[in-house]
């Protein structure tokens, strides 16, 4: 018996009566009930709903502290603290998310999606409880980083969609999966602002922990393994046990298991740095996504200091971002697969680059929204104008990120989890540190020119999806992980 590379079907050595050995490919049959792509549509969409529920909970937990970050720091420290401390309290989550995928994605390709996603959910619950019971700012910040470390939906959800759906149906599933975090991003700040004024900020995190517990019970009882190689390995082991062949197979040593895990952990770097396409998309996506945290950190200060909003009003104002994001999800749900099918034409299989037209539109519109956000604040225009800019930021940001995720899944196939890890790590690092520079930038240049600089940075990277749409197919051939997409 031999194990092939992760992207290949399993091979099983069979000894014939003549003494010869033949290698038999072990793969799914056309109508194999264990193949996730043969599951009923109702069950597939139930799994999508389950993933969306946890994504909602994760986003709710992350974003709920944004409008009340200063209050949390003041309560824990007993005095007013610098704005940079409150900013770190928000962005430290992304630092955890940068490290977590390095283990989550490769483990899901070694052990399967089921044990990894459940293990992450349990850790998420434990560390959310730790944050809710913290008595000092350093403990709270550490708990937030650990909670971000255990976040699995960003890494595994797109890969699970790729496990279950064919290419021409992934766009709809991917865009609908993005809807739940948007709802969480809208409800989280609104609820936290209101509860913080009445009951206190700890109750917000206890609510988040309760939601996570409900989700984990559903995952333990309803979720099924979707990763092809994990299912085939389980089937191979069962066949060997039934035939008696398993007893003849030498068990792997601990050293071999460690080497295999290390190979899996380093695979995201091999995928990312081995593909010029993924490196470019990662750089582009990381800067674009970091603007979400730029707005999340700056908006509460703008609304309270410039417009005199209360914490409850500030939390409710974040719904404008979610409204814009929701409209973007609708556009992607309607257009992403249709554009893919239209560009595919008569070919049976389309190219991953066919996912990018909407991404290109978002790439050029996002810098304009960022710049407008800064100048509306600088000129002290009425608050509704500011909220419209926030909504435009949500619209253009999601219009950029959803097609990008779909592109990575299509381009990397079975290695999509590792590829997404590389993209997510760079995105999280940018989201941790770039927003911390927003305060000094605004302090020296003002909101108008400060955000104009951020918009110029984003505009300079808008050519990346254009170049990949035109040359990506040729560039992908130089990387073994994207060559056969």
Q: What is the pLDDT of residue 5?
A: 43
Per-residue pLDDT band for 434 (boundaries 50, 70, 90) equals confident
If we measure between CA atoms, which residue out of 322, 35, 324, 358 comes closest to residue 188?
Answer: 322
CA atoms within a 13 Å half-sphere pointing along the CA-CB vector of 28: 18
User: Which 8-state DSSP code applies to residue 356?
Assistant: -
Which pLDDT tens digit goes with each residue over 139-160?
A: 888 888 899 888 877 778 888 8
Q: Is the pLDDT score of 36 beyond 90?
A: no
User: Contact 324/394 with Cβ under 8 angstroms?
Assistant: yes
Q: Is the pLDDT score of 122 beyond 90?
A: yes
Q: What is the pLDDT of residue 396?
A: 94
Mean pLDDT in residue range 230-244? 79
In sequence order, the β-bridge partners of residue 11 are: 2, 25
Q: What is the pLDDT of residue 237?
A: 80
Q: Is the pLDDT score of 26 beyond 80?
A: no
Tokens linked to 213:
């517990």
Which pLDDT tens digit goes with each residue over 273-291?
A: 888 888 899 999 999 988 9
User: Contact 154/97 with Cβ under 8 angstroms?
Assistant: yes
Q: Is the pLDDT score of 219 beyond 80?
A: yes
Q: What is the pLDDT of residue 249?
A: 46
What's the per-residue H, E or C state across 395-432? HHHHHHHHHHHHHHHHHHHHHHHHHHHHHHHHHHHHHH
User: Which 8-state DSSP code applies to residue 90?
Assistant: H
Query: Which of 464 and 267 is assigned the larger pLDDT?
Result: 464
36-230+259-476: CATH, from 1.20.1250.20, 2.60.40.10, 3.90.1150.10, 3.40.50.2000: 1.20.1250.20
pTM to 2 decimal places: 0.70
Per-residue pLDDT band for 252 (boundaries 50, 70, 90) equals low
Among the ranges given (66-80, 252-266, 344-358, 439-453), the one the predictor scored with the smallest mean pLDDT: 252-266
Phi, psi of 153 (to 5 degrees): -55, -40
Q: What percent of the chain has pLDDT over 70?
A: 86
Q: What is the pLDDT of residue 4?
A: 38
Q: What is the pLDDT of residue 387?
A: 93
Per-residue pLDDT band for 212 (boundaries 50, 70, 90) equals very high
Mean of the per-residue pLDDT values of the chain:
81
Per-residue pLDDT band for 461 (boundaries 50, 70, 90) equals very high
Q: What is the pLDDT of residue 478?
A: 79
Mean pLDDT in residue range 340-350? 78
Which pLDDT tens digit goes with each residue over 66-111?
A: 777 777 887 887 665 556 677 777 778 777 877 777 778 778 877 8
Q: What is the pLDDT of residue 7?
A: 45
Q: Is the pLDDT score of 6 beyond 50?
A: no
User: Contact 281/468 with Cβ under 8 angstroms?
Assistant: yes
Q: Is the pLDDT score of 162 beyond 60?
A: yes
Cα 105–108–114 angle (5° rounding)?
Answer: 135
What is the C-alpha to C-alpha distance for residues 273 and 268, in angstroms, rounded to an integer?
8
Q: What is the pLDDT of residue 126?
A: 94
Per-residue pLDDT band for 25 (boundaries 50, 70, 90) equals low
Q: Is the pLDDT score of 127 beyond 60?
A: yes
Q: What percent of the chain has pLDDT over 90?
A: 20
User: Contact 349/167 with Cβ under 8 angstroms?
Assistant: yes
What is the number of other CB atoms lying within 10 angstroms of the CB of residue 2? 8
Which pLDDT tens digit goes with each residue over 349-403?
A: 778 888 899 999 999 999 999 999 999 999 999 999 999 999 999 899 989 988 9
Q: What is the pLDDT of residue 79?
A: 62
SS3 340: helix
Q: Is the pLDDT score of 343 beyond 90?
A: no
Which of 19-28, 98-107, 161-170, 372-381 is the most confident on average?
A: 372-381
């Amino acid at each position: 018996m031999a194990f092939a590379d992760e992207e290949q079907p399993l091979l099983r050595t069979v000894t014939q009566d003549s003494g010869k050995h033949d290698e038999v490919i072990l793969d799914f049959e056309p109508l194999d009930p264990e193949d996730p792509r043969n599951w009923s549509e109702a069950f597939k969409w139930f799994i999508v709903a389950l993933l969306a529920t946890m994504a909602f909970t994760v986003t709710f937990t992350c974003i709920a502290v944004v409008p009340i970050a200063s209050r949390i720091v003041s309560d824990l420290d007993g005095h007013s603290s610098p704005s940079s401390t409150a900013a770190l309290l928000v962005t430290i989550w992304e630092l955890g998310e940068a490290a977590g995928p390095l283990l989550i994605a490769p483990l899901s390709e070694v052990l399967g999606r089921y044990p990894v996603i459940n293990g992450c959910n349990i850790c998420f619950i434990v560390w959310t409880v730790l944050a809710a019971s913290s008595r000092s700012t350093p403990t709270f910040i550490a708990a937030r980083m650990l909670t971000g470390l255990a976040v699995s939906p960003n890494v595994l959800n797109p890969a699970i969609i790729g496990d279950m759906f064919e290419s021409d149906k992934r766009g709809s599933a991917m865009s609908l999966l993005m809807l739940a975090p948007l709802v969480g991003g809208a409800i989280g700040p609104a609820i936290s602002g209101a509860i913080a004024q009445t009951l206190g900020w700890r109750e917000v995190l206890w609510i988040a922990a309760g939601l996570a517990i409900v989700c984990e019970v559903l995952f333990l009882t309803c979720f099924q393994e979707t990763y092809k190689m994990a299912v085939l390995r389980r089937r191979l082991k069962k066949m060997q046990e039934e035939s008696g062949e398993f007893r003849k197979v030498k068990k792997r040593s601990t050293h071999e298991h460690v080497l295999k895990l290390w190979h899996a952990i380093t695979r995201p770097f091999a995928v990312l740095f081995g593909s010029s396409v993924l490196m470019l998309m990662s750089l582009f996506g990381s800067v674009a996504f970091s603007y979400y945290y730029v707005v999340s950190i700056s908006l509460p200060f703008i609304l309270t200091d410039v417009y005199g909003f209360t914490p409850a009003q500030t939390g409710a104002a974040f719904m404008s971002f979610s409204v814009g994001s929701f409209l973007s999800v609708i556009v992607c749900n309607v257009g992403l697969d249709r554009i893919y099918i239209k560009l595919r034409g008569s070919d049976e299989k389309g190219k991953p680059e066919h996912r990018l037209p909407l991404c290109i539109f978002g790439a050029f519109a996002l810098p304009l929204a960022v710049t407008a956000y800064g100048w509306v604040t600088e000129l002290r225009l009425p608050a509704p104008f500011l909220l419209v800019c926030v909504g435009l930021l949500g619209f253009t940001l999601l219009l950029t990120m959803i097609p990008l995720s779909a592109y990575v899944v299509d381009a990397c196939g079975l290695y999509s989890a590792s590829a997404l890890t590389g993209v997510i790590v760079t995105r999280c690092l940018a989201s941790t540190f770039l927003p911390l520079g927003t305060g000094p930038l605004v302090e020296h240049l003002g909101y108008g020119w400060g955000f104009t600089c951020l918009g110029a940075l984003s505009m300079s990277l808008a050519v990346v999806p254009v170049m990949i749409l035109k040359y990506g197919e040729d560039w992908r051939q130089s990387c073994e992980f994207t060559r056969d997409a």
